[in-house]
Amino acid sequence: MSSETLRTVEIDIERDLPADCAYVDMLLARALRRGRASRLLRNQMVVFAANVAMGPANDRYLYDPAAICQTIEVLEGHGGRDITKGPSRFTKGALQGLEYKHFFQASFMAQNLLNESSKAGPDVIYRKLIKHHGSYAAVDGRRLTEEDLGLIAEAFVTDGSSAAQRSVPRDRVGA
| 2-57 pLDDT per residue, tens | 556 667 778 899 999 999 999 999 999 999 998 888 999 999 999 999 998 888 87
Non-local (6+) Cβ contacts of 28 within 8 A are 37, 42, 45, 69, 72
Angle at 157 between CA 155 and CA 160, to 5 degrees: 65
Maximum mean pLDDT: which of 37-51, 69-83, 103-117, 129-143: 37-51
Task: Kindly state the average pLDDT of the residues 93-97.
Answer: 93
Instruction: Please list, in sequence order, all residues whose beta carbon lies within 8 angstroms of the beta carbon of residue 50, skipping any fewer than 6 positions away.
Output: 17, 20
What whole-number distance in Å separates Cα of residue 83 and Cα of residue 105? 11
What value does the mean pLDDT of the chain take? 81
Confidence (pLDDT) at 34: 87
Average pLDDT, integer, range 76-93 = 86
From CA 80, how far away is CA 69, in angstroms rounded?
Answer: 13
Q: Is the pLDDT of residue 173 over 50?
A: no
Between 48 and 107, the more confident residue is 48
Q: What is the pLDDT of residue 86?
A: 81
pLDDT at 93: 94
Residue bearing the bigger pLDDT, 75 or 157 = 75
pLDDT > 80? residue 172: no
**Nearest alpha-carbon partner for 130 in 76, 71, 97, 172:** 172
- Residue 166 has a pLDDT of 39
Of 145, 147, 127, whose CA–CA distance to 136 is shortest? 127
